[in-house]
Every structure is written in C-alpha cells, then in structure tokens.
Structure 1
C-alpha cells in the first residue's frame, strides 16, 4: 500500500534525525545499570520466591539480595559477581538459599578477585544461559503451536482487554472473549503497579482496575489461553505490560512464561508515571533486548499523547515518537515484525472532516512503517458516556482500521468512561468489529485518496512537522525536549522522577552475562 506519495528523501531524513536524537540516550543507557536490570539478571539466573516473614508483607528474594549487595559493596560491578562468589563461598545450592541466608544476616558480599572472580563469572554465565535457553524454548514452542493451531485468518488481529483484578475471573472473561472472536487478550495491570519497585509473588485476587502482573498470573493465563486456542482452532496471544519500575524483570518473566506481546514504550513511564528518564531508558533497552530474544511483539504507547494533547495539533509528536521508538527498538535488536508501534483514533468528532484526518494519520503510520504490526487504538478521550454515540464512533474507528491496513485493532468499548466493561459490553463491542471487518472485506483495495485531496496533504504536513521537530530535538537534546513538555504536554526533567535512586553508573569492570549475551544477539 503506497497511497500518499511520500518523498523518500524526507522519510530518510526523518529516520536519520531520529537516530541522531536517540544516539546520546543510547550511550547513556549503555553506561548505566539499574536495580531492575540487576534483579532481572538474577531472575534469569533462577532466583524465585519471596520472604513471607517481613512485617511489611512479602518481599521478593531478589530484592533482598540486590538491596544487600548494593549496601555492602555497590552495584557498579553488577550483582552476579558478589552473588555467585557468596554462593560458592558459603557452599549454597541455589540463589534462593543465598537470599534466605542474606535475610538472616549470614552473608557479607564483596567483589571477588583472582580465581574467585573467574569462578563467579563462569558460574553466573552458566546460570543466566540456562534462563535464556528457557526463553528460547518458549519461543520455539510458540512457533510450534501456531503451526499446529493456526493464526487468525484475517488482519487486523482483534485485541481485547480484560481487567477484573482477580486472575481467576480474568481467565473466564479471556476464554469467553477468545470464543467470541478475540485474537489477543491483554490483561491490564492493577492501578499503580508500575510504581512498585518489586514484582509481587503468586496468584492475585485483589487488583484495582486491573490484575497484578506476576509470574504465576502469567502462567495461569497462558495455560488458559492454550486450552481455548486448542478449542477455537487458532493460537490466541497473551499481552501484559513491561513498563514502570520493574520493566526488565517483567520482560524476563514474560519470556519465561511465553507471553506473546508486551506494552513497552520508550517514554510512556517518563511522561505519564513520572519515572526518572535515565532509569526508563536504561530499563527499556534491556527489556527490549529480552523481548527480541523471546520473539515478543512490543506495543508502544503513542496513543497516550493524544489523551493529554490535541490529536490534530500534536499529530506530529506521535510520528516523532514512533520514529524514536523504531530506532531504539532496532538498536536493541528488535526487528520490524516485532515492532507494534502505537497510534490512536482520538480526534474530537466535532472537528470538521475528523474522519478524513484520522485516515490521513493512520495511513501515514502505515506507509512509514510498512513491515511493523501497527497497533491502532480506539477513541477514549471523546467518549461521553452516551453508549449509542460511543458505539457509532467505535464503528468509524474499526472502519478506519480496515481502510488503512492496521495490524492490531484494540476493541473499543461503548461504556468507556462509564463503567468497567461487563462481559455483555465486550460481546457487543466484538460484534461491532466483526460486522465492520466482514462488511468492509478488502475495501482497502478500492480506497484511493485523491493525490491533491485533504488526506494526502494532511499526511505530508504531519511528516514535515515531524521533521521540523526532530531537527529541534537534535539541536536541544532528547532529554531536554522531554523536560520541556514536547510529548503529551508533560514536563519531566532528566534528574527528577521516581526511581532515580535506582540508577547506577557502571564501573569499567562491570559484568553482566545477560547483557553480554543479549548484546551479542542485538549486534
């Protein structure tokens, strides 16, 4: 599909500018680690479980080890050297045993030298390698099951959210949604989990407007969707959120439990959760390397900008963010077919020609990123609570998705801004999608916007504005652009934000076998 006659030289300039804008941030990410990256590494190495004796509630064993290592000898050299040296020094069998001894005050961590250093490097590399091999097996198993059960016959894939707070109830809703036509089930996270600097343990039944992302909840839902996949005769994909203060850990857990998609944006946590920018860029690079290894499709979050900024005036900021997300993803080893760039149908329906403008923006994304599985988000900002208007607006959204060749279509709910959707709401919303997809068929084959019409002119205008903004960002620096409120009108200075105290500059002798193996893969 090439309907907009975009100037290849302008497109090339946009990508070149995005790479130049991203380069200093990539260098910064390579020079630092975080507590979350180190925890993710120990999770790959096999640590599991939590300290249930703590007066403030369960504390994951991995947090116990990381916090103690940092207190006693710092994390500048990474966690695996002192941890695996202590494991050998105290003749302990597992990292979980090490964590228990740490909590009991029996371990004094130090950076090993000489033969002890060599032994710690060898042991940690072996342990992390086993974790990555488990991720590899899950990727191979996904491919096997897709071959066995089949992929959805149509595009876009139909993406539907469940969010009850109780993993067992989520299973009921997810399986029913798959039977009703959903191809992807997203288990939205409990409100505020992105600000927790630890990953809860076990199955959970008490989330708020969502269900906690835990390894056990991932396992339960994956097993449930495998059951229903066999029943409906197509592989149903599972999505969760690798974002927030535990982004790298949740990426690892997703790889270990065969999730298929993860929300993972380079700037969302900075802008909408006030997480420290440097922390976020370090964490997102590692998490994307894990996603690349696991074959997980990431979903970026540009749609969120249009909930705080005007969808017409700020359209070019979405394009800029998509180009930046593309570069950050490629640099971390993610190929185009795993790059679910986000955009949204959020123009005020009262704006004249709003539907034509939506088509222009959606076509621009499609033509700029022809090989990416674009994720098209439904209207939320201008859903008024009138379910009839909402149902119609969602129908127009679905039609725009068909006309512009979107890859992943998130099902819009007519009860948006009214209630958490019921099963009946989801069923009606899926009927809306099925009707439009069936009635429109291959209508995209017949859709040809006029070369000198509003749609084509608007797309060229947005791309030109994106290039202008990227030129400014290259001059001023991406971190300064974020601090100035360029994206989503959110101002986030580089030295502020939650989790800043979890960022550590690497020493010259820093060692992390997970980073080394993932770096070799991305290279």
Structure 2
C-alpha cells in the first residue's frame, strides 16, 4: 500500500505536541468522576431495570411500544440517592456494597431506594476493605462477561471468516423500530454490507439515562438500549452464519451516558462504537469536562472488549471549509489517538475519522481529497480509518451525487481506507429509500471490484501536487498543535476558542457539568481498578 514520505521529525513533533495538548484533560479525568461513570459501575455489576414510578428526570409521555423509556433506570435512582445522602466524592461502590454487607442484592437495594428506605454511609475501618472486596468481585463478574464476549467474537470470526477485502463496507440502518431494523440489517448484509450501524434516536445523546427494553418508536433513529443491542447482535450472528462472514455491529457510545453505553456494548458483544473525544462537546453542546471524564472510562471499556472506535472528525468539515480547515482534522486525529492509547486502545481499534467533503467545483478537488486521505493513511498506517462520504455538497441532483459517491469510493480504494461508509445519492436531500441503498451498494461493489488492489500501484511522486499538499496540511497541523500545547489549559481552551468545526464551547458551559464530581483521596471505582491494571500491563 502506498504511503507518503512524510518528514519523520515533523511526524514525531506532531505526536509529542498532541501528547502535551491532551495531558491536561487526562489529568482532569484522573481527578474526577461523573454520575454516568458511577452508574456504569452498577450496570457492570448487573443492575438493570427501571423504577416503575415515572420520574421527572426522565422523558415525558407514554412508553414506547409497551416499553418504559419514560421511567428512570434503577442505576440512576441509586446513584442519585448516594449523591444526596453522602456525596459521590468517594464513588458509589463503597456506600452501596457497605449497605449490602448485611444481605440483599443490588436489585433489592434499588427497590429500597425507590421506596425511600435505603440508607447509605461511607464505611470506615475494616468495613471499608470488605466493601471494596465485594464491589471488586461484582465488577469482575461483569468484566468476565465482556472478556467472554471478546473471545466469542474471535471464535465466530475464525468460524465464519472476515470480509475478503478492505475497506469494510459500512451501512446505516435506523427506522426507529428495532423489529423493523433487524430485517433491514440482514438484507443489507446480504447485499454486501460488512458493518451495520444503528443510528440512535434524535436527542438520545442528551438524555442523562439509558432507556430500557426493545423500543419501537424513535425519531430518525432507534434508541440505544441493552435489549436492542442484544436483539440486533443475535440477528447479525444469524446472517453471519448464512453468509459465511462475520457481520459487525456498530452503535454510539457518546453523549451524557457514554460510559454506560460502552458497558452495555461490551456486555452484548458490539464490535464498533462511535466514540469521539470532542464530538459531543462540539455538536451536542455537552460540557467539555463531563465529556473528557466520560470518554476515558468508556474507552477503557472498549479497549477491554476489543471494540473498534470510530471518531468524528468528518463532522468538522460539515461546518468548516474542507480545504482551509483540513489541518484541524489532522490535529483532532492525533489528539484522539493520544487519548485512546492512554485509555488502552491499540492501533487496530482506532477507526479515526475523515471525510470526502471538498466542494467538487474547487479546481483539483479530487487530487486534494487524495492528498488528505493519503496523509491520514500515512500518519496512522496500522489504524483502520473510517472514510465518510460527501454530504455537504449533495445538491439534489442524484446523477451528480451518484458520480460524486463513485469518486469517493475510488479515493477510498486508492488510499487504503479501512472502513468505508456507503454514500447515498439522495444524502441530505430526503430520507433514502431502500432502492437508493441498493444502488449505492452497487456503486461501492463496482468500484472496489474494478479497482481491486489498485492501492499498491498508486504512488504519488515526491514533490508532486499530492505530496506537497499533504505536507502543507501536516505543517499547519503542527503549528496549531504548538498553540494548543503551549496554553496552560491545552485542549480545553482550544475548544473554547472555536478551533474545531468553528464551534466555541467554554469549559464551564454546556449540558451535564452538574454531573461532574472531584474525587476524594479515598475514592474507589472497582471497574477502573480492574481496567487500569489491564492498561498498565499492556
């Protein structure tokens, strides 16, 4: 596969600066917890279900398809009760497992919380160690389940095989009804999709709880719930056996419940998760401090589960110019890599994002796209990379759009992208019909089959247009990283200044800041304890 002859000193400098820029938010994550991190501990220990009494903090209205999305999960109730009675500075584990020392289960304790009879306190003396040990054993059972799912994935890949070529074809399915998503996902796999992504219902990232059950009504997407994960994974296992290749499942570990959704994904054997360090901050106005604490925990879970993350750099180019701001994509990729590796993720798990979003009327636009894509491949040779199709410049002319998607597919083949999201000629114009999807898949199959392993023949000459453009973008990225790294607040301030996607998000603004808690010296999180031991050995 062709890569560019980038200046190794400049590449090393870029990574050194990314590490410096990211360090303040890494330190922040080490010193804080959040309500969602603490709820994730309870979910890992097996707490499920909801309070049968509808709460003010949940979504209003009736249940969806007979489910209880308007009810508050027990995990929320317990964490809120602990916070109210003793605070979360020491974490939820010590007071919860101290309360369980006299008998009972997490479920019965949650019901006591619902009845208003549960009492929590921070244990002292020998009671502290007993609570720590009980909490560690409970979390270890959840992690053992995640480990078993990782082994099961590896067994199924050995049995059925991986797709015979890269890039993997990634296709979105999301009707709002999980029972309608399933046959559509299976049909997409039969038509050639290697990865099925179930988009979440609009606004779920802003819910500070995870709905429960198999949902049948969502808006422009389907609710991410543990039961929906289980149903779709089972359906894709069925079609994997039929097709003789393992079909991967993707969802979204982002928003206010990033840590909990990461845990649920590990427990139900999802294979990929959208998990970006800054997407929720920039595009959902979630508080930066909340996001950085949550993303570290969620990525540690993904690392343990063998899940590939997909980052969201492509979104910057929907709000900023894809040529002028190309270097911000590279900066974000380097920061995402730094934060991911600190959390224990390996190169093969880094589906770093970028996109084909240059205005096609710009002279040499295809050569520019090739330069940007080849820069990403050269900087991250062992990462799969997730290549996103054109959306911003889809005009409604479906013939032009179909041709543009063909160029996108060709660029993906030429530059060795790992994950290729299928572009639709009606993208951003209407909700695509199934026939649009079929035509789009034909486009992908034709280009990939016709191009074959053309990447091995594609070698832009040193000093040529593509080489010069890639080096220009890298040089601009290093310049921006120098500014970020030299600021005492590092990345936090860069986001406040509108560096990425021209969106300004101050450190103390956005949603969810009230859920961030500075930890005390005696804080204990059994899941972090177990996951960090794994990272330290890696």
TM-score bin (small chain): over 0.9
Separation in 2, partners of 1:334, 1:21: 19
Aligned to 1:142: 153
Aligned to 1:67: 80
CA RMSD of aligned residues (A): 0.8
Separation in 1, partners of 2:495, 2:514: 20
Separation in 2, partners of 1:48, 1:408: 33
Please tell me whether the aligned partners of residues 51 and 72 of structure 2 are also in contact (alpha carbons under 8 angstroms).
Answer: yes
Aligned to 1:112: 123
Separation in 2, partners of 1:76, 1:2: 51
* 1:37 partnered with 2:37: yes
Deviation sequence 1:240-287 (CA, Å, 0-9, x none): 000000000000000000000000000000000000101000000000
**TM-score under structure 1 normalisation?**
0.99
1:209 to 214, 220, 230: 220
C-alpha spacing 1:331/1:412, structure 2 compared with 1 (3 Å): same
Shift of residue 5 of structure 1? 1.3
C-alpha spacing 1:490/1:450, structure 2 compared with 1 (3 Å): same
Report the secondary structure of 2:286's partner residue.
Answer: coil
Q: How do 1:503-518 residues align onto structure 2 when only pairs under 5 Å count?
A: 503-518=516-531
> Bigger shift: 351-360 or 116-125?
116-125
* 1:478 partnered with 2:491: yes
Shift of residue 104 of structure 1? 0.1
C-alpha spacing 1:125/1:298, structure 2 compared with 1 (3 Å): same
Report the secondary structure of 2:54's partner residue.
Answer: coil
Moved runs in structure 1, 4+ residues, more than 6 A? none
Shift of residue 39 of structure 1? 0.4
Separation in 1, partners of 2:286, 2:367: 36
Report the secondary structure of 2:390's partner residue.
Answer: coil
Separation in 1, partners of 2:202, 2:397: 25
Aligned to 1:81: 94
Q: How do 1:341-380 residues align onto structure 2 when only pairs under 5 Å count?
A: 341-380=352-391
Report the secondary structure of 1:468's partner residue.
Answer: helix
Aligned to 1:15: 15
* 1:336 partnered with 2:343: no
Please tell me whether the aligned partners of residues 2 and 456 of structure 2 are also in contact (alpha carbons under 8 angstroms).
Answer: no
Aligned to 1:498: 511
> Bigger shift: 418-427 or 145-154?
418-427
Shift of residue 475 of structure 1? 1.4
Aligned to 1:489: 502
Shift of residue 426 of structure 1? 1.0
Aligned to 2:299: 288
Separation in 1, partners of 2:319, 2:291: 20
> Bigger shift: 440-449 or 500-509?
440-449
Q: How do 1:383-398 residues align onto structure 2 when only pairs under 5 Å count?
A: 383-398=394-409
Separation in 2, partners of 1:2, 1:483: 37
Deviation sequence 1:347-390 (CA, Å, 0-9, x none): 00010000000000000000000000100000011111111111
Q: How do 1:464-475 residues align onto structure 2 when only pairs under 5 Å count?
A: 464-475=475-486
Report the secondary structure of 1:52's partner residue.
Answer: strand
Separation in 2, partners of 1:68, 1:144: 42
C-alpha spacing 1:84/1:389, structure 2 compared with 1 (3 Å): same
Shift of residue 133 of structure 1? 0.1
Aligned to 2:110: 99
Aligned to 2:66: none
Shift of residue 452 of structure 1? 2.2
Separation in 1, partners of 2:9, 2:161: 40
| Gaps in structure 1 of 5+ consecutive residues | none
Aligned to 2:242: 231
Shift of residue 52 of structure 1? 2.1
Deviation sequence 1:306-341 (CA, Å, 0-9, x none): 000000000000000000000001100001011110
Report the secondary structure of 2:156's partner residue.
Answer: helix
Q: How do 1:68-467 residues align onto structure 2 when only pairs under 5 Å count?
A: 68-89=81-102, 91-92=103-104, 94-467=105-478
Separation in 2, partners of 1:470, 1:452: 25
Separation in 1, partners of 2:95, 2:267: 25
Deviation sequence 1:176-233 (CA, Å, 0-9, x none): 0000000000000000000000000000011100000000000000000000000011
Separation in 2, partners of 1:335, 1:381: 32
